[in-house]
Amino acid sequence: MEEQSLASHPIKPSYFLRRGRPLPKHLAQAQVRILFARTTHPMNRALGLLMLRCGLRVSDVTRLRLGDIDWAQQSLRIAQGTGRKDRIVSLAAAALTALRTCLAMRPVVVPDGLVFWNQKRPHRALSSKGMQKKIERYAKAAGVQASCHSLRHTFASDLLEAGAEVISIKELLGHASIASSERYAKLSNQRVKQVYQQTIRKVMAKTRV
């Protein structure tokens, strides 16, 4: 067609190359420290830590209500949506502390018992887009490539590096399929190296050559 020797395109529109899904991008520990050194506002720090230390989605955070917090069990109830069972997420110590500090300054006008609010208009809920922009601004100020989604990915990859099983990560992230969680296993080359070094020493001790 480019050479004007064909009148019509010979390839059917339904024929296309299937592109592989890109691996999740996670933050290095140094990047996490730099980012959260910039994140000083109590509410913004709390919502960031809920994604980084508890693996919540943006939508999970914006929908979170006071009644979803179980202070005694140090956990959150996350609504999974129509037809799916709600999941319980444990609160890491840092996230728990940040959440308490945030709620101490929460305006009484925040609607529907929501935990987070629009800072310019406290009588309105914080939107997912608004939350994403907050993290993007902090990331830009810190000079790192980060987003709400990358914080959640960092949570999963950090757990995997520390030895968590993929099936456990699936439950913590609220994935419907184990296939979604298995993608994180491709990130864990360092963990594979650690396991190799730990186990090969035992093998060599038993079978010296």
The enclosing domain of 176 has a CATH number of: 1.10.443.10
pLDDT at residue 167 in the model: 81
Q: Per-residue DSSP letters for 116-174?
A: -B-SSSTTSBPPHHHHHHHHHHHHHHHT----HHHHHHHHHHHHHHTT--HHHHHHHHT
Q: Does residue 14 sit within a domain?
A: no
Q: Which structural domain, as residue segments, surrounds residue 73?
A: 29-206
Q: Does residue 72 sit within a domain?
A: yes
Q: Does residue 79 sit within a domain?
A: yes
Per-residue model confidence as pLDDT tens digits over 144-161: 999 999 999 899 888 887
The answer to whether residue 14 scores a pLDDT higher than 60 is yes
Determine the average pLDDT of the residues in 103-121. 94
Q: Does residue 16 sit within a domain?
A: no
Q: Does residue 175 sit within a domain?
A: yes
Per-residue model confidence as pLDDT tens digits over 121-132: 999 999 999 999
pLDDT at residue 166 in the model: 79
Per-residue model confidence as pLDDT tens digits over 40-78: 999 999 999 999 999 999 999 999 999 999 999 999 999
Q: How many CA atoms lie within 13 A of 182 on its CB side?
A: 4
Q: Does residue 24 sit within a domain?
A: no
The answer to whether residue 82 scores a pLDDT higher than 60 is no
Total of domains in the chain: 1
